[in-house]
């Protein structure tokens, strides 16, 4: 059977067309291969200072939790690497986490206005107290994801700021 000849290509151009198709195929195949992200070598420890602002008052305490993985983030503080309670002065609070191994972390803050140790919610599950997270995620409905809030703590000390949000007005 004679080769099929396309109208734009002559019989001698078939080899070029075939080569072009192979090159195109290999380029498309290469575009589908995931690119490896560089791995940051991280050794040592560092201190993390968390400055919290945006409290609507200085009542109660600030509950600050730091997570190293999505497990339990942001509400299950028992899964956190560390939890701290901080007094609120002039509508601000500061917490220092010392000697953390470098790596990926995310921080959550809860303004526990009535100091009952938990986030108070309405009948729909919406928080009545202030809350915030690292990277100040602009989430839609529901809590933010770990990936939105995570950051890399290297062997250098780091300071981050978190501003609280209140969905409910205080009664």
> For the segment 86-118, what is each residue's pLDDT rounded down to a tens digit?
999 999 999 999 999 999 999 999 999 999 988
For 20, residues 6+ apart whose C-beta sits below 8 A from its C-beta are: none
Domains and CATH numbers, the chain: 1-35 (no CATH), 45-163 (2.60.40.10)
pLDDT for 37 equals 46
Q: Rounded CA gap, 32 and 16, in Å?
A: 25
**Core vs surface per residue 32-41: b (16+ CB within 10 A) or e:** eeeeeeeeee
Q: Which residues of the chain have pLDDT under 70?
A: 1-42, 139-140, 170-171
DSSP 78: G
Q: Looking at residue 138, what is its pLDDT? A: 77
Which DSSP string do the residues of 102-159 spell out, in sequence order? SEEEEEEEEEETT-SSS--B-TTS-BSS-EEETT-----SSPPPHHHH-EEE-SS-EE
Predicted model pTM: 0.73
pLDDT at 13: 60
CB 50 within 8 Å of CB 109: yes
Q: Residue 133: what pLDDT?
A: 95
């Amino acid at each position: 059977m004679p080769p099929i000849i396309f109208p734009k290509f002559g019989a001698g151009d078939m080899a070029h067309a075939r080569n072009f198709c192979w090159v195109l195929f290999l380029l498309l195949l290469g575009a589908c291969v995931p690119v490896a992200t560089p791995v940051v070598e991280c050794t040592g420890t560092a201190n993390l200072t968390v400055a919290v602002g945006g409290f609507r008052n200085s009542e109660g305490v600030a509950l600050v939790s730091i997570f190293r993985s999505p497990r339990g983030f942001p509400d299950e503080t028992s899964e956190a690497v560390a939890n701290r309670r901080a007094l609120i002065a002039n509508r601000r609070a500061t917490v220092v986490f010392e000697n953390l191994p470098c790596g990926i972390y995310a921080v959550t803050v809860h303004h526990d206005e009535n100091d009952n140790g938990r986030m108070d919610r309405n009948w729909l599950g919406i928080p009545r107290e202030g809350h915030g997270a690292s990277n100040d995620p602009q989430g839609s409905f529901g809590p933010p994801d770990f990936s939105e809030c995570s950051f890399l703590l290297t062997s250098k000390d780091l300071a981050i700021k978190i501003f609280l949000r209140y969905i409910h007005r205080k009664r």
